[in-house]
Amino acid sequence: MQVDTDMPPSSPWERLQTLLRHGPADDLLEIDPEQLGAILEENDRLFKAMVDAFEGLIYICSADYRIEFLNDRMIRHLGHDATGELCYEAFGRRSVCPWCINHRITKGETVTWELISPRDMRWYYVLNAPIRHLDGTVSKYAMMMDIHERKKNEEELRNHRGRLEERIKARTAELTEANEQLRQEIEERKQAEEAMRRSEAKYRELVQNANSIIIRFDTRGVIRFFNEYAQQFFGYTEQEILGRTLWETILPTVDSTGRRITSMVDAFLTRPEQFKTDELENRRRNGERVWVAWTNRPILDADGKIAEFLCVGVDVTERRQNRRRIRTLTYALLKAQENERARIARDLHDHIAQDLSSLKIRLQTLFANESAAGNDAQRQTEETLQILQRSISEVRNLAYDLRPPGLDQFGLVRTLFLYCEDFAQQNGLKIDFIAAGLDDLALGEDIQINIYRLIQEALHNVKKHAAAKGVTIRLVASSPNLILRIVDDGKGFDIDHWRDHAYQEKRMGLQSMVERVGLLDGTIDIRSRPGKGAGIFITIPIKEQLSGGETAHSDH
């Protein structure tokens, strides 16, 4: 097969490969030793970075049979992460395997063999090699690769060879016919060898190319590796994208949520430990925007400095679209719920509360006219009036909880102040509420009612669970966000226990706040320790523009 060698290799390793495959042997002697060392170091770094993408099974164990490393495929093969376990126990045995060769490996010997796995009855090629540590100890490196197809081809080849030898022995007298038969058998052998070669090439391709986006780029963002799946996904060929930067090709300057991607990548290049995983909006060659979940890993040079970055990505565009649809439907459901609450509140206030008040007035009038009534009748009338008064108060409180009447009349800040004042009086709490920066801010009805509900839910949680004496509430507009802070001096709680048991214990107040903040594209941070009170810190992006002439009411 003719190999195209016109394109110059782009790295020392590729130049060495070209010489090994196509160049004269004398040219190998001209390679500078330092350059050869750099090639080997580069190969070592690439091996370490790509080991998780390797499709075979890999593990490393110490001389005393203790597992030191497993690749992801071996972990899945065993069913759990057996790091630190004895290797023979990890493979289901109680004692050292009779065929174990650890003693040979620790003496520096490299051993290879082929075996049939009892798990799947397939042939595997097994390589065991020593790994020498700086402290002088030696570990065993084991790699297993599926060679079932190759073994089938070899078996078929042996069968052909055996039949050929039998025919030659049986027909030595018929030389011409035997020669023709030999030619045919040789042709079959060539075909079998070609099938084996294709099988090995396919295996190498599977090892080098995973069914995920895999890219490698240097500290300047210049792309150095772009696997075949990435080429298909983004629409670039290898020749078109290698040597170009991320910003020229697959990254937009600003994503659809308004985040500056270039700033995020700059931060990643300098602080990769903070971006081990991330979801970014990427750009295909045709301009289409897609979301990719990235797993990122730095590649270090011999001095321990970052030389390159290896990133493995998975397309999550459809998942994000589904999540956005769910959030839209949930938001619509909450809005419908608020509308229904408002309708019920109006009915309670305009009809039931008014009817109860009218009934109270009539009873008072009746009692005034019946001055001669006996003491017992007076006592019963007074009790009836007290019951009516409690009913009127409860109906008004219920209507107030369903829909704060002052929100439309007084605005958000004044309504919250009145609510906190009323809640404090009813429950014996000291509530310190202050709002700032909202005077010239025109917030939509949805965000106002959601902020009101967040504070309402927080205070109800304090009342039910905190045993607090005081609550501090701060609502501050600090462009581009609204910042809400609610802190109590109660008994506090264990955050981890709440996350694990909130649903089982039916304590969904805080969880409903988390979901409501998520619908507003905000963030929420809940902090607490037993005996140390609790704090809720919420940040919500301001999506409305400054009003200019009209201001929201702000009396406090």
**Domain CATH for 532:** 3.30.565.10
**β-strand pairing of 67-70 with 223-226:** unpaired
In a domain, 321, yes or no: no
Token pair, residue 232, equals: 């298909």
Q: Are residues 41 and 140 in the same domain?
A: yes
Token pair, residue 452, equals: 């009101």
Which pLDDT does position 155 carry in this prediction?
Answer: 86
Q: Which parts of the chain have pLDDT scores under 70? A: 1-32, 36, 40, 44, 47-49, 52, 118-119, 171-173, 200-210, 326-381, 383-385, 388-406, 501-508, 543-556
In a domain, 213, yes or no: no
Which pLDDT does position 316 carry in this prediction?
Answer: 87
Q: Are residues 94 and 78 in the same domain?
A: yes
CB 213 within 8 A of CB 233: yes
Q: Are residues 431 and 399 in the same domain?
A: no
Give the residue among 278, 347, 330, 357 at the shortest CA–CA distance from 518: 330
Q: Are residues 77 and 196 in the same domain?
A: no
- Which CATH number characterizes residue 264's domain? 3.30.450.20
Q: Are residues 296 and 424 in the same domain?
A: no
Q: Are residues 433 and 541 in the same domain?
A: yes
Which pLDDT does position 432 carry in this prediction?
Answer: 94
CB 83 within 8 A of CB 71: no
Q: Other CB atoms closer than 10 Å to residue 230's CB: what's the count?
A: 24
Which pLDDT does position 458 carry in this prediction?
Answer: 92
Task: Choose one of 182, 208, 234: the last residue of a domain.
Answer: 208
In a domain, 1, yes or no: no
- The set of long-range contacts for 105-111, using a CB threshold of 8 Å and a minimum separation of 24, is 105/129, 105/130, 105/138, 105/140, 106/63, 106/130, 106/138, 106/140, 108/138
In a domain, 325, yes or no: no
- The helix (run of H) or strand (run of E) holding residue 309 is strand 306-315
Q: Are residues 198 and 263 in the same domain?
A: no
Q: Are residues 338 and 310 in the same domain?
A: no
In a domain, 503, yes or no: yes
Alpha carbon dihedral 466, 468, 470, 471, in 10-degree steps, equals: 0
Report the alpha-carbon distance of residue 57 to residue 205 in Å, rounded. Answer: 16
In a domain, 550, yes or no: yes
Which pLDDT does position 472 carry in this prediction?
Answer: 94
Report the domain count for the chain. 5
In a domain, 362, yes or no: yes
Q: Are residues 46 and 169 in the same domain?
A: no
Q: Are residues 352 and 255 in the same domain?
A: no
Q: What domain range includes position 106?
A: 12-147
Burial classification of residue 162, based on how many CB atoms lie within 10 Å of its CB (0-12 exposed, 13-18 middle, 19 or more buried):
exposed
Which pLDDT does position 30 carry in this prediction?
Answer: 63
In a domain, 327, yes or no: no
Which pLDDT does position 474 carry in this prediction?
Answer: 94
Q: Are residues 166 and 288 in the same domain?
A: no
CA within 13 Å, CB half, 448: 23
Q: How far is CA 40 from the centre of its chain?
A: 35
Q: Are residues 278 and 419 in the same domain?
A: no
Task: Choose one of 107, 122, 147: the last residue of a domain.
Answer: 147
